[in-house]
Chains A and B, each alone.
Chain A
């Protein structure tokens, strides 16, 4: 076993202990930084409360719907841009411009357009997770090598055969990298939109508990959000390893 695999979790425990000691000694106000044990109490409160599950479900639904709708639309747009030169020339500058823009500024507008409910959060999740996938789809599809195209042409392959047997699998590793980023971004989008105005969701809980100065509960929700983010990322990693199993070979030759 390597030293890092022991030291990394060990350091986490040390940090928690130091944090606990500092908090108990009264060096920091619990309104600023609650002790880990207090955050644990908060987690217990959340998971025993009958209203908590529906907030988790709400935020997850916004994230996943936004991710799937945005992801599929982004891949479709990427494919369209690669296959229609003129369309790409016209549309690509917009994609790049939107990519650079900090999309959180759109959250208040989406709420006025789509209401206080789930819809505005889904739209925000789509907006923030869309562009990395578009760009990675385009880059992936364009990374097909000349000899590979010549091989397919020498077989008199049709356009759709060249796409499905060559371009699509070539692009998959890049598309997956984009999807991994965008799933995390979708969660951010849903939460930010909930911060602005919402009736339900984990973002709402964070703002509500902040106003009530229940900082230990805020931290407990942050822990839950972080774990959800990790789980979503982990699922994507597993899927990636299964679906684009050849990925490493392209770099090691």
Chain B
């Protein structure tokens, strides 16, 4: 039971929406505990749908998904979710937004406030605890959203293009910070993106997906050494991996 905490098993999963749109056709993937996996593909390949299915936010039409050895029947509190937009509530300060999961879980808010301040300082938001979301830049808003995921220490984090709306520089900095946090805490992370470079830079494995119907075309191992830095992107191995993924997407077309 503890051995497979954080492990995810997707077997034969398909999703057809009520309007007849076939979003996913028979997807099977096993994700190990503590693994960093990216889903990459063009719009409409079903990568976000697959993420929501794993998070229990959608039900599969056929097939099964198991998290920590248990069949997924709905959202779970040991799975944290982060979206492309920060989804911060404008009437709450940064600190209050970070404490939202604690309130929903019915845990002690005062005890968690210290922890929240610690996480906010770790992501570089010291001094902004009492600011409102509209007073923050897009990058800062996503840092606050990341803090809100981290506050409950979920062993699994699902990220749906979390940095997709940020500029290139901010995005690279966020990626480095995410890797640092992941290396310290060892969560299982599933990261949806349409950026091949981002996927190669972050991941242990990349699930390459394509459209019509949404499906997995290949799973690519990324054995680049860790810890990774901006230097990693200059290496020939990095370029080769990125090209390999690109080829799968090209061939599939």
A residues engaging B (CB < 8 A)? 145, 147-148, 150-157, 161, 165-166, 169, 244-246, 249-250, 252-253
Additional A-B contact list (12), CB under 8 Å, known A148-B89, A246-B132:
A147-B85, A148-B87, A150-B52, A150-B57, A154-B55, A154-B79, A154-B81, A155-B105, A165-B89, A165-B104, A169-B91, A249-B133
Partner of B132, one of A154, A166, A249: A249
Question: Chain A contacts of B182 at CB under 8 A?
Answer: none
Classify the secondary structure of A's interface with B: helix
Contacts A154-B80, A250-B90 known; A165 to B75 CB distance under 8 Å? no
Which of A155, A166, A245 makes the CB contact (< 8 A) with B89?
Answer: A166
A-B contact pairs, 30 of them (CB 8 A): A145-B87, A147-B83, A150-B57, A150-B81, A150-B83, A151-B81, A154-B55, A154-B75, A154-B80, A154-B81, A155-B77, A155-B100, A155-B104, A156-B74, A156-B75, A156-B76, A156-B104, A157-B104, A165-B89, A165-B100, A165-B103, A169-B89, A244-B91, A245-B91, A246-B90, A249-B90, A249-B133, A249-B134, A250-B90, A252-B134
Nearest Cβ on chain A to B237's Cβ, whole angstroms: 36
Name the residue on B nearest A154 (C-beta). B81
Bound complex: CA A165 to CA B91 (Å): 10
Q: Are B104 and A153 in contact (CB under 8 A)?
A: no
Could you say which residues of chain A place their CB within 8 Å of the CB of B74? 156
Judged by DSSP, the binding face of B is loop
- 9 A-B pairs with the lowest CB-CB distances in the bound complex, closest first: A249-B134, A154-B81, A246-B90, A155-B104, A249-B90, A246-B91, A157-B104, A151-B87, A169-B91
Chain B, 41-96, CB within 8 A of any chain A CB: 52, 55, 57, 74-77, 79-81, 83, 85, 87, 89-91
Q: B83 contacts which chain A residues (CB < 8 A)?
A: 147, 150-151
Residues in A with CB closer than 8 Å to B101 are: 155
Specify which chain A residues have a CB less than 8 angstroms from the CB of B76 in the assembled complex. 156
A147 touches B87 (CB 8 A): yes
- Nearest Cβ in chain B — how far from A159, in angstroms? 12
What is B's interface to A at a CB cutoff of 8 Å? Answer: 52, 55, 57, 74-77, 79-81, 83, 85, 87, 89-91, 100-101, 103-105, 132-134
Contact A153 B132 (CB under 8 A): no
> Out of A148, A153, A169, A250, which one reaches B75, CB within 8 Å?
A153
User: How far, in whole Å, are A147 and B51 apart by their CA atoms in the complex?
Assistant: 14
Give B149's nearest chain A residue, CB to CB.
Answer: A154
Complex Cα spacing A145 to B86, Å: 12
Query: CB distance B90 to A161 under 8 Å?
Result: no
How far is it, in angstroms, between the C-alpha of A156 and the C-alpha of B101 when the chains are bound?
9
Q: Which residues of A contact B87 (CB under 8 A)?
A: 145, 147-148, 151
Tell whether A155 pairs with B75 under 8 Å between CB atoms, given A166-B89, A169-B89, A250-B90: yes
Q: Which residues of A contact B104 (CB under 8 A)?
A: 152, 155-157, 161, 165
Chain B nearest CB, measured from A225 CB (Å): 36
Knowing A147-B85, A148-B87, A155-B100 are in contact, say whether A253-B134 is a contact too (CB < 8 A). yes
B133 closest partner in A (C-beta): A249
Q: Complex: how many Å from CA A152 to CA B77? A: 11
A152 partner residues in chain B, CB cutoff 8 A: 104
| Complex alpha-carbon distance, A250 and B133, angstroms | 10
Instruction: Tell me which residues across on chain B come within 8 A of A155, comparing CB atoms.
Output: 75, 77, 100-101, 104-105
